[in-house]
Amino acid sequence: MKLLAWGANTYGQLGVGYKSELCAEPVEVTAPTIEPKLLTRLCGGGGHTLILDKNGNIYSCGWNNKGQLGQSLEEQAASFEHIAALSGHHIIDISCGWETSFALTRDGKLFGWGSNVYGQLSLPRDQVTFSASPLQLTDHKVKQLSSGLRHTAVVTDQGDVFVCGSGRKGQLGIVHHGQPLKESYTLQHVPGLPQIKMVACGQHHTVALSVCGKIFVWGDNKFGQLGFDPLLHHNFAYPIQLDCSERESLPQECLLSCGWTHTVLRTGGGKIVNWGRNNYGQLGCAEKQRLESWKPTFLNDVPSTKQIAVGSEHNVALSENGEVLCWGWNEHGSCATGADVDVKSPRKVENAQKAALIGTGGAHSFAVVMTVRRRGNF
C-alpha cells in the first residue's frame, strides 16, 4: 500500500520531504518508519499534519511555530517524525486545530500540545502560551474530541460535552450573565444537552450528535452552517436542536464533520448531507443551485461512501468501491485536479483509486491506496 498526499505544502505538511506552495496531483509519501497499511487516521491543521497507526504511534510534520508537532522546536519539518513523548501511551484518535494537536488514548486520557493563546489546551494562558510537549489536559475519561480554529470540544464516557478556548461567536455553547462565554482556559461543561455521541468543531461553530440521533448546534451561523436561515438567526450562544420537521429529514445514525463554515453528515448508509457556505463549491454544487444553502440537503452526485473527510473549505470522500472524490476550494491543489480552479461538484481523483483511508488538513489531503500491479508485472 502507498500513502499519497496533495494540496498545500507551504510548511512541509504533506510530509514528502520538501516544501511547495501547492501540489496539485497526488505524490507518494515515503517514510522509513511508517507502514501505510497500518495507518488508521490522517488529519491536519492550518499547516501541520498528524498520522496515527494501529499500534498507537503518532507521527507529525509541517508547521511548528507553536510546537504543534509535539517534538523539537524546529520551525518546520518536511518529513514525518515519530512523537516519542507519547511512546508510553496507546493512542486511538487524533485531532488538529489551526496550531494545536490532540491525542486520545485507549484508556480515555486526553493529551494536547501547540498553541494555547485562546485557552484551546484548557490551560491558563498566563502559565502556558504554547507547549511543544504533549500535556495531559483533564482527569475526565474522554471518548471523542474535535478541535476548531481556536476552540476544543470533548465528549466524556458519560456522554457529557466539555469545551474550552475562544467563544466570541458563541461556539462554546455557554452563557454567563446573558452573554456568550468569550474564552475559557479550563474545560467547562455545556449544559442543556442529552447524552452525546460525538461533536464536531468548525471555525466558529460546534455541532453535536446525541446517542438517540438528535443534532444540536451552536455558535456562528453567518453562512447557515448551523442549519438555520442566517437572515433570521446570526448565531446561537447555547445548544439548539436542529429541527428537521419542515425540511428534508435527516437520518438517525450519522457521523459529523465540520469545515470552517459548512457542516457535513455521513449517514449510516453512506449518504452525504451538507449545509452552510458554498462560495467555493464546498457543498458539491454551484452556488446558484443551492440558493438556500443553509438547509440540510442530500448530496446526490457522490456514490455511497465509506468515509468523509472535511478540510477548511474542501471535502474528500471515499466511496464503497475505493474511489476517492474531492470538491470545494482548490487554490492550493487540495482537490488533486492538476490545477488550482475550485471544484463545484465531486470529482474522482484519478491517481488515488483502490483507497482504504482518507484524511484532510486545512488545505491538504491524504489517501492510503492499494499498490496495483500492472498486467505482466510479477
| 164-208 confidence digits (pLDDT tens) | 999 999 999 999 888 999 999 999 999 999 999 999 999 999 999
> Per CATH, is 2-369 categorized as 3.40.50.150?
no
Which tens digit of pLDDT belongs to each residue from 275-286? 999 999 999 998
- pLDDT given for residue 375 in this prediction: 40
pLDDT band at 253 (very low <50, low <70, confident <90, very high): low
Q: Length of the chain, please? A: 378
Domain residue ranges in the chain: 2-369
Cβ-based neighbours of 302, under 8 Å, separated by 6 or more: 272, 284, 317, 319, 325, 346
Helix (H) or strand (E) holding 131, with range, is: strand 130-136
**pTM attached to this predicted model:** 0.94
Enter the C-alpha cell of residue 321: 468501491
**249 pLDDT more than 80:** no
pLDDT band at 250 (very low <50, low <70, confident <90, very high): low
Cα distances (Å, whole numbers) of residue 21 to 249, 297, 339: 41, 34, 13
C-beta neighbour count of 228 within 10 angstroms: 20
CA distance 355 to 36: 11
